[in-house]
């Protein structure tokens, strides 16, 4: 079977599935939307006489359940995510507080505005895919002989039966209906699935709330801020430990050696010279450790030459052949450059340790966006064995948290057998 035949068969199955789902959804949503809308209007209208105080919370809870069911269907069938944004209601709230708490929620009125839309436009767009697939079958049935029943019998004459714009009154016109059905079936093959997805996009346009997106955004920023604070605290502890166990210990030892040299410089010059040589080596080692520590905090080449040259220097230090391509017309802010640098460093470390690659490609460029300042995009590709995933405890999870602090994202493509492509994006402007 050729690739074209496989794609055609897959599209045909998708067309039939979209038609059946659309038909089932239309048959359920119309009575559901009408019932929810009618009960809501009646219950709210009964609030002044007290009955609605008791019934409205139950009715609106049912409306929310219906809307949430549609959100689930939109995500599973259409790949369209519609986050809910309902304000929480205390479980121990009395009927009065519960009723007016729900009525003060903008999401409640958005649901009520959506119901008339759903029972009209929503019903039509859900049913249309099924009509596109099923209506051509009627044209074929007319050509097969159904036209005789639709236009009358031996004793009764009904006149022509209209199939679309084709008047069917004999076998010839029935073949014309079949031809029209064939054209409609071709259109159905092309447009059924997009029309089905259009239903969910229209639902999202009416039912979705910017508040839900804002709440999700606040949640993500809260998590990334907490991760940033934890990471900063861990980094400070690392620096303190490195200073205490490394350079500080060497400097203390060097001070003790100098004190001994003072006592031996006249009594035992040869021993004093040996201690001087040892002190000089200790000072060189301490200086090297301090340089490594500073490089771990903020590499001098990054501050002096920018991200491109810093990544090139980083690539020279790893034992795998690495090709670096840089297209940056300017420099990002220092925190962004630092985050990108250490993210690339972590990805390269993972590639060297785990991928088994013998070649790595790094691409850095800045893409201008239609809205906003632009996007710093870094791609690291290796020809290793693949299988890299973003998971708890992995280096890539740390990279994702580091980028999230700057509203950045991480994407990993790493099929078994390779290659592995890690893409990092950080929104930023270049100076």
Query: Which residues on adjacent β-strands are paired with residue 409?
Result: 425
For the ranges 94-98, 292-296, 405-409, the maximum mean pLDDT occurs at 94-98
Contact (Cβ atoms closer than 8 angstroms) between residue 416 and residue 320: no
- What are the two backbone dihedrals, phi and then psi, of residue 264, each rounded to the nearest 5 degrees? -95, -10
pLDDT (0 to 100) of residue 155: 39
Using CB atoms within 10 Å of the CB of residue 6, give its burial: 0 to 12 exposed, 13 to 18 middle, 19+ buried. Answer: exposed
Phi-psi region of 407 (alpha: psi -120 to 50; beta: other; left: phi over 0): left
Question: 10 Å Cβ neighbour count for 187?
Answer: 12
pLDDT band of 206, cuts 50, 70, 90: confident
The reported pLDDT for the residue numbered 154 is 47
**Segment among 3-7, 50-54, 328-332 with least mean pLDDT:** 3-7
Average pLDDT, integer, range 353-374: 79
Sheet holding 409-413, edge to edge: 321-327, 359-367, 375-382, 420-427, 409-413
Tell me which range, 78-82, 168-172, 393-397, is most confidently predicted by mean pLDDT. 78-82
pLDDT, greater one: 317 or 418:
317
Comparing 201 with 259, the larger pLDDT belongs to 201
Q: What is the mean pLDDT of residues 338-355?
A: 85
Long-range pairs of 73-79 with CB within 8 A, sequence gap ≥ 24? 73/25, 73/200, 74/200, 74/203, 74/204, 77/21, 77/25, 77/196, 77/200, 78/196, 78/197, 78/199, 78/200, 78/201, 79/197, 79/200
157 Cβ neighbours under 8 A, 6+ residues apart: 151
Is residue 113 predicted with pLDDT exceeding 50? yes
Residue 157 has pLDDT above 60, yes or no: no
Q: Is the pLDDT of residue 152 over 70?
A: no
Percent over 70 (pLDDT), the chain: 78
Average of per-residue pLDDT values in the chain: 79
- Cα 274 to its chain centre, rounded Å, is 64
78 or 250, greater pLDDT: 78
The whole-number average pLDDT for the span 48-56 is 88
CA 404 – CA 426 distance, rounded (Å): 9
Q: Specify the 3-state DSSP secondary structure of 380.
A: strand
Min mean pLDDT across 80-89, 184-193, 255-264 is at 255-264
Has residue 3 got a pLDDT over 80?
no
Beta strands in 201-284 (DSSP E): none
pLDDT digits (tens, 9 = 90+) for 229-246: 555 556 566 666 656 566
State the Cα–Cα distance between residues 9 and 125, nearest whole angstrom.
Answer: 24
Whether residue 282 is predicted with pLDDT greater than 80 in this model: the reply is no
At residue 40, φ and ψ (nearest 5 deg) are: -65, -45
pLDDT > 50? residue 60: yes
- What pLDDT shows up at residue 217? 60
- The Cα–Cα gap between 311 and 330 comes to 15
Average pLDDT of the segment spanning 278-292: 70
Is residue 153 pLDDT above 60, yes or no?
A: no
Structure-model confidence comparison of residues 86 and 381, the more confident one: 381
- Say whether pLDDT at 345 is over 60: yes
Q: 369-416: per-residue pLDDT in tens?
A: 654 568 888 999 988 888 887 765 567 877 887 787 777 888 888 888
Nearest to 342 by CA among 182, 235, 428, 218: 235
Q: What's the mean pLDDT in 193-217?
A: 76
**pLDDT of amino acid 226:** 63
> What pLDDT is recorded for position 42?
92
pTM: 0.48
Q: Which uninterrupted H or E stretch holds 240? A: helix 210-242
């Amino acid at each position: 079977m050729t690739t074209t035949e496989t794609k055609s068969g897959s599209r045909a199955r998708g067309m039939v599935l979209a038609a059946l789902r659309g038909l089932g959804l239309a048959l359920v949503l119309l009575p559901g939307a009408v019932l929810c809308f009618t009960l809501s209007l009646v219950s709210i209208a009964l609030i002044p006489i007290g009955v609605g105080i008791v019934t409205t919370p139950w009715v609106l809870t049912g409306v929310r359940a219906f809307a949430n069911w549609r959100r689930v269907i939109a995500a599973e069938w259409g790949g369209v995510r519609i986050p809910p944004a309902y304000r929480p209601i205390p479980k121990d709230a009395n009927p009065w507080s519960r009723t007016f708490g729900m009525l003060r929620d903008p999401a409640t009125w958005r649901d009520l505005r959506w119901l008339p839309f759903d029972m009209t436009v929503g019903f039509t767009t859900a049913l249309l895919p099924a009509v596109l697939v099923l209506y051509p079958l009627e044209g074929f049935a007319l050509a097969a002989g159904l036209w005789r029943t639709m236009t009358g019998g031996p004793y009764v004459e009904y006149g022509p039966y209209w199939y679309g714009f084709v008047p069917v009154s004999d076998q010839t016109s029935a073949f014309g209906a079949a031809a029209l059905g064939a054209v409609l079936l071709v259109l159905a093959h092309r447009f059924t699935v997009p029309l089905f997805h259009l239903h969910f996009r229209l639902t999202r346009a009416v039912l979705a709330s910017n508040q839900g997106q804002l709440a999700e955004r606040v949640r993500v920023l809260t998590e990334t801020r907490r991760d940033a604070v934890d990471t900063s605290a861990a980094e400070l502890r690392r620096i303190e430990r490195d200073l205490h166990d490394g350079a500080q210990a060497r400097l203390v030892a060097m001070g003790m050696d100098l004190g001994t040299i003072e006592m031996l410089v006249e009594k035992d010059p040869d021993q004093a010279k040996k201690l001087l040589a040892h002190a000089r080596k200790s000072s060189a080692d301490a200086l090297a450790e301090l340089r490594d520590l500073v490089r771990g905090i903020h590499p001098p080449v990054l501050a002096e030459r920018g991200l491109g040259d810093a990544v090139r220097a980083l690539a020279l230090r790893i034992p795998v052949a690495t090709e670096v391509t840089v297209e940056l017309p300017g420099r990002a802010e220092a925190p962004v450059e630092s985050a990108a640098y250490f993210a690339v460093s972590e990805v390269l470390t993972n590639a060297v340790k785990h991928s088994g690659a013998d070649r790595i490609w790094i691409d850095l460029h800045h893409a201008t966006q239609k809205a906003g300042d632009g996007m710093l995009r870094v791609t690291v590709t290796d020809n290793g064995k693949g299988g890299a995933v973003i998971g708890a405890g992995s280096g890539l999870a740390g990279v994702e948290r580091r980028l999230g602090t700057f509203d950045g994202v991480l994407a990993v493509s790493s099929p078994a057998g390779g290659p592995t492509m890690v893409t990092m994006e950080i929104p930023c402007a270049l100076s």
